[in-house]
Amino acid sequence: MRTCVILNPAAGGGCSPERIREAVSSIPGSEIRVSQAPDSVRPLALEAVAEGFERIVAAGGDGTVSVLASALLDSGADVECGLLPIGTGNDLALSLGVPTHPERAVSLLRGGKATPIDAIHAAANAATVPDLHAWNAVVGGFGGRISDRMSPGMKRRWRSLAYVRAAAAELGELRPRRVLLDIDGRRTEQEIRMLVIANGRYAGGGIPFAPGGRVDDGWLDVVVIRAASLARLGVLIPRVLAGRHLADPDVEHTRARSVSVEAEPGFWFNVDGETWTSGSASFELRPRALPFVRP
């Protein structure tokens, strides 16, 4: 099988390009191409599709994976997506069970099979914002701007702890927002602090926001964290970090196939690393969208 590995050398996990090249060289029929800028991942992926590669691998973080997988989906080609997770959070890899150790991830690429996973089609209610596909999760409200708080240097130095430091910098925005939610046609208006629309289990650097979620079950896990008092948040946050929050009275959890959000500007969304500021958006499940190599 011809395999093209697209490497993002700026990924924040601290793994050297030389180590990646050495590991990838053990994959028969493989080539490695280096993305020189964030916006070059998509054209490199489409170029590999046009050249007939059967498996195209994202060597980078969740943002790199999202852009590459979306390009493969948009191409309409019969091609598999692989992960070589060397980013800061690697949340999709955790959800898929893909090892975050580079040599082990390459071992999986040599012998693993590809099976389809779901995607989230994301549409902002703004004409200037193009539609996206998310593969792991959408985070709205508090947390929507956290990725923007993480500089490349912070990612390299702190790795997964960079999310914690960025969240601390965003604490001033930890206030409730009034939103109108439409979850599979059920409309409610409420004040919330955070909204997570998850395809996978993890977001924010390994936090199990949707501990029972599966990337191939045909459902989105929708987690709403309501306007609890600061004292209640002090109790709730450790439960979230441990994945024991879904039964909390200040948390609403449901499974759905579509979610629409109407909110004032300033309600931010993070769509697999892409930040939206529109305040309102729609998200819809796209089942069995693309085959990924996984255990």
Domain boundaries, the chain: 3-111, 120-288
CA distances from residue 45 to 118, 143, 218, 230 in whole angstroms, order as listed: 20, 29, 26, 45
For the domain covering 3-111, report its CATH number: 3.40.50.10330
Mean pLDDT in residue range 224-237: 83
Q: Is 175 helix (H, G, I), strand (E, B) or coil?
A: coil
CA distances from residue 43 to 50, 111, 132, 168, 261 in whole angstroms, order as listed: 10, 27, 16, 36, 31
More reliable by pLDDT, 92 or 268: 92
Residue 128 clears pLDDT 90, i.e. is over it: no
CA proximity to 60, closest of 17, 123, 114: 17
For the domain covering 120-288, report its CATH number: 2.60.200.40
Q: Which two tokens stand for residue 221?
A: 């896990």
Check residue 185 and report its DSSP letter.
Answer: T
pLDDT band at 55 (very low <50, low <70, confident <90, very high): very high
d(CA 234, CA 141): 18
Residue 265 clears pLDDT 50, i.e. is over it: yes
What b/e sequence results for 129-141 when a residue is b if at least 16 CB atoms lie within 10 Å of its CB, and e otherwise? Answer: beebbbbbbbbbb
CB 181 within 8 A of CB 224: yes
Q: Which two tokens stand for residue 72?
A: 């493969």
pLDDT band at 163 (very low <50, low <70, confident <90, very high): very low
Q: Compute the chain's Rg from CA coordinates.
A: 19
pLDDT of residue 158: 40
In the chain, the percentage of residues whose pLDDT exceeds 90 is 62
Mean pLDDT in residue range 224-241: 85
Non-local CB neighbours of 237 within 8 Å, separated by 6+ positions = none
Please, what is the average pLDDT of the chain? 87
Residue 140 clears pLDDT 50, i.e. is over it: yes
d(CA 72, CA 78): 9
Q: Which two tokens stand for residue 60?
A: 């980078």
CB 125 within 8 A of CB 281: yes
CB 61 within 8 A of CB 13: yes
Between 17-24 and 102-111, two packed helices, what is the crossing angle to 10 degrees? 30
pLDDT of residue 13: 61
More reliable by pLDDT, 247 or 156: 247
pLDDT of residue 275: 85
pLDDT of residue 7: 94
More reliable by pLDDT, 211 or 144: 211
Mean pLDDT in residue range 24-38: 90
**pTM summary value:** 0.88
pLDDT of residue 264: 81
Check residue 292 and report its DSSP letter.
Answer: E
